[in-house]
Amino acid sequence: MSLSRKPSVAPTSSVPVWLRVALPVVLILVWFGLFAAGGASFGSLSTVVENDQSQFLPANSEATQVQELQEGFRSADVIPAIVVYERDGGLTDADDAAIDSDATAFQSIDGVIDDGVSPAVVSEDGEAAELFVQIDATAETKDVVGEMRDHISDTAVDGLTAAVTGPAGFTTDLAGAFSGIDGILLGVALLAVFVILIIVYRSPLLPVIVLGTSLSALCAAVLAVVSLAKADILLLNGQTQGILFILVIGAATDYSLLYISRFREALHVHERTWDATLAALKGAWEPILASGGTVIAGLLMLLASELNSNKILGPVAAIGIVFALLGALTLLPALLLWAGRVAFWPVRPKVAAHTAPDDEIAKKGVWPWVARLVQKRPRVIWIVSTLVLVVLSLGVTQLKADGVPTSEFVLGESQARDGQQIVGEHFPGGSGTPAVIIAPEESLQDVADIAIGTDGVSDVSVLSEDSPSGSLPVTTDGIQPIGPPGSPTGEPTVVDGQVQLNATLDYASDSDAAEAVVADLREQLAAPVLVGGATAVALDTKNAAIHDRNLIIPLVLGVILLILMLLLRSIVAPVLLIATVVLSFGAALGVSAVVFNDVFGFAGADPTVPLFGFVFLVALGVDYNIFLMTRVREETAVHGARDGVLRGLVVTGGVITSAGLVLAATFAALGVLPILFLVQLSFIVAFGVLLDTFLVRSLLVPALSYDIGRAIWWPSKLSRAEQPDVIERR
């Protein structure tokens, strides 16, 4: 076996000198402008980010229809907050006075609608009280809730506990958890990448050039995304923002590493940096473009989603990958052309008349050793590797990806979660966040009777402008008066022949039990009656996420398979590559399920976690196989199928391993944000990338390809030639 390559004498490029000087300068200046403009756009991200769960519902969901109809029943779109107080042994007169004082103070806060604070409601056991506060949805919810929490911090003394919870409270806690996304997340990701690059290249300048390229790509992507969000062309939420940051930094760095490996090879052949740049671009553009294309295609399949939060991630992340590709294929070559061999200081590549002897290359280094191992026991290696992945995949049966309560979204401290627990101990769990029923006026009593008779419903009221509290209780005896005996009953508010009923549930609005009650109500109340509210939003979101998972995964597989077939001019190789990556994803998901349940003790996972994990792992995992197999195909054309596999493995081993470490480190950085979804996604992708890098791409794929031989390239001409003609590549 021969693993060395004797470079031919490279011709000098005939490109005019002025173009060699002007083109890189123009590219660097253009990217510098994008870097500056995009950097300024980071400050605008907070103004276009939306973290309200209902913003991302599918347009045709029942909860969305109810939300739209509700606008006719109120003068302003509102987000409810619940302020709950508790004292063991019972509230005192001083507590009552303090609570009334807080209610007055809340009403004066900018963002709380007029008459938006209810009278205090005391629990039957006398140990708790709650206030319902309506916050204008156009106001900055976190600022309003922040002021309310400042007030209650002074009230909660000497054994009195107080908390702001409800949808507004959870939205505020979620926004707080995302508050470190610009600084902490980027800082951790960039530091991890920088350390890895220093170790890999042992050069102080090259890591700076790579990170400069990645940051420039990110700034350009942020500029584009913010501009589109301001134009209401797309939505952006915190989790999409975090994924965009990590994906661009990781992908741009990976593509840069592939180009650098080709550039360094070319510097050993070409004396002039310009000629080395052209040679590097010639060798790198196809695998880089194909790799980015698979990720973009996979991400754009999310446009078929019902869930808007899934749908919008596709174009946002695809925009990021586009700029990562552009940065790696334009800015990075320009910077390296400018820096030349100095970029690799202190070990500068030198033009070599000859490569090392065959036997020396075959004996030295980790990757030649791996190649010899693959050559010696290919079938044993790929069978054992496959069995390992199958065993790891068995843990998938333990994955609980059917949704988690809203209260579990934020890891660590959450006042909203603590407040919800207090509410559940002293009041019906759904207090303040009822199921909302929109029904024809003439069906009011019939609908109320069905709701009252449904297990899990505590009480039912109808919206009424005549009532000081804004609603009137409804029982099987009809609408009940508010006040002393003999008080007028009042009339329900009617909009376009419809009324709004609120059904308070016995369970917390974000619980599985509450969702079951809403599903039961919908089953009993036929159209045109609609059931919405916070619990219905969570239920419809979960159902849409499950639908998307079952639809998008086959679409992603299909489009990536097609791209691989076009790239590799083969059917067998792409099918096997897809199969190995899917098996790797199953193993990553199986290990993650065990870790989530038995190590971290998570309550479960959102249905979108395996979907996003699949999209990123399959698209990015195929990247490494593209890097490997495009080089194997290139070597096969010169040295034959089996030698081509071994040579491709040796040549790409270092760069792909470095790229895998970088991508795993960047996705692991998502774990610094205390958001359950992002922590789980970061573990799945980081572990899966490492599995792809060190097992699938290093052992399974090379061993399987070697064992199959030239048939892996069927039906291309490479599959039909025992000894293909030797083709000089330079």
d(CA 301, CA 319) in angstroms, rounded, equals 14
d(CA 627, CA 291) in angstroms, rounded, equals 8
What residues have CB less than 8 Å from 343, skipping those under 6 apart? Answer: 203, 205, 206, 209, 335, 336
Q: For residue 384, what pLDDT band results from cuts at 50, 70 and 90?
A: very high
Q: Which CATH number does the domain housing residue 672 bear? A: 1.20.1640
d(CA 38, CA 32) in angstroms, rounded, equals 10
Residues 164 and 114 in one domain: yes
- Indicate whether 74 pLDDT > 80: no
Residues 526 and 572 in one domain: no
Q: How high is the pLDDT of residue 340?
A: 85
Q: Which helix (H) or strand (E) holds 615?
A: helix 608-639
Residues 588 and 523 in one domain: no
Q: 319-357 pLDDT, tens per residue?
A: 999 999 999 999 999 999 888 888 888 878 787 644 443
d(CA 259, CA 33) in angstroms, rounded, equals 23
Q: Is residue 272 part of a domain?
A: no
Q: Is residue 40 part of a domain?
A: no
How many residues would you count in the chain?
Answer: 730
Q: How high is the pLDDT of residue 433?
A: 83
Task: Looking at mean pLDDT, say which of 52-56, 174-178, 323-327, 628-632 comes out highest.
Answer: 323-327
- Indicate whether 382 pLDDT > 90: yes
Final residue before a domain boundary, out of 136, 155, 172: 172
CA 231 to chain centre: 23
d(CA 703, CA 412) in angstroms, rounded, equals 45
d(CA 504, CA 521) in angstroms, rounded, equals 12
Q: Is residue 240 part of a domain?
A: no
Q: Which CATH number does the domain housing residue 470 bear? A: 3.30.70
Q: For residue 581, what pLDDT band results from cuts at 50, 70 and 90?
A: confident
Residues 448 and 367 in one domain: no
Is the preceding omega at residue 528 within 30 degrees of 0, hence cis?
yes
Residues 513 and 572 in one domain: no
Q: For residue 272, what pLDDT band results from cuts at 50, 70 and 90?
A: confident
Q: Is residue 727 part of a domain?
A: yes
Q: Which two tokens stand for residue 320?
A: 């990021």
Residue-number span of the structural domain to which 453 is assigned: 434-480+489-532
CA dihedral 602, 608, 612, 613 (to 10 degrees): 40
Final residue before a domain boundary, out of 172, 188, 215: 172
Residues 451 and 392 in one domain: no
Q: Is residue 456 part of a domain?
A: yes
Q: How high is the pLDDT of residue 534?
A: 84
Report whether 636 contacts 578 (CB < 8 A).
no
Q: Is residue 517 part of a domain?
A: yes
Q: 25-45 pLDDT, tens per residue?
A: 889 999 999 988 888 887 777
Q: 634-660 pLDDT, tens per residue?
A: 888 888 888 888 988 988 888 888 888
Residues 573 and 720 in one domain: yes
Q: How high is the pLDDT of residue 727?
A: 38
Please state the rounded mean pLDDT for residues 555-582: 89
Residues 583 and 721 in one domain: yes
Please provide the DSSP assignment of 125-153 as one string.
Answer: TSSEEEEEEEEETTS-HHHHHHHHHHHHH
Task: Looking at mean pLDDT, say which of 275-279, 379-383, 612-616 comes out highest.
Answer: 379-383
Structurally, how many domains does the chain consist of? 3
Report whether 609 contacts 681 (CB < 8 A).
yes
Q: Which CATH number does the domain housing residue 150 bear? A: 3.30.70.360
d(CA 570, CA 41) in angstroms, rounded, equals 44
Q: For residue 730, what pLDDT band results from cuts at 50, 70 and 90?
A: very low
Residues 450 and 572 in one domain: no
Q: Which helix (H) or strand (E) holds 461?
A: strand 457-463
Q: Is residue 411 part of a domain?
A: no
d(CA 11, CA 109) in angstroms, rounded, equals 75
Q: 167-211 pLDDT, tens per residue?
A: 889 888 887 877 766 677 778 888 888 888 888 888 888 989 999
Q: Where are the alpha helices (DSSP H) in 364-439?
A: 366-376, 378-393, 415-426
- Indicate whether 520 pLDDT > 80: yes
Final residue before a domain boundary, out of 172, 190, 224: 172
**Pick from 307, 375, 298: nearest CA to 547:** 307
**Pick from 685, 141, 46, 167: nearest CA to 409:** 167
Please state the rounded mean pLDDT for residues 90-118: 90
Residues 591 and 646 in one domain: yes
What residues have CB less than 8 Å from 467, skipping those under 6 apart? Answer: 482, 490
Residues 79 and 162 in one domain: yes
Please provide the DSSP assignment of 653-691 as one string.
Answer: HHHHHHHHHHHHHHHHGGGGS-BHHHHHHHHHHHHHHHH
> One-letter amino acid identity for 140?
E
Residues 376 and 497 in one domain: no
Q: 667-691 pLDDT, tens per residue?
A: 888 888 788 888 899 899 999 999 9
Q: Is residue 226 part of a domain?
A: no
Q: For residue 363, what pLDDT band results from cuts at 50, 70 and 90?
A: low
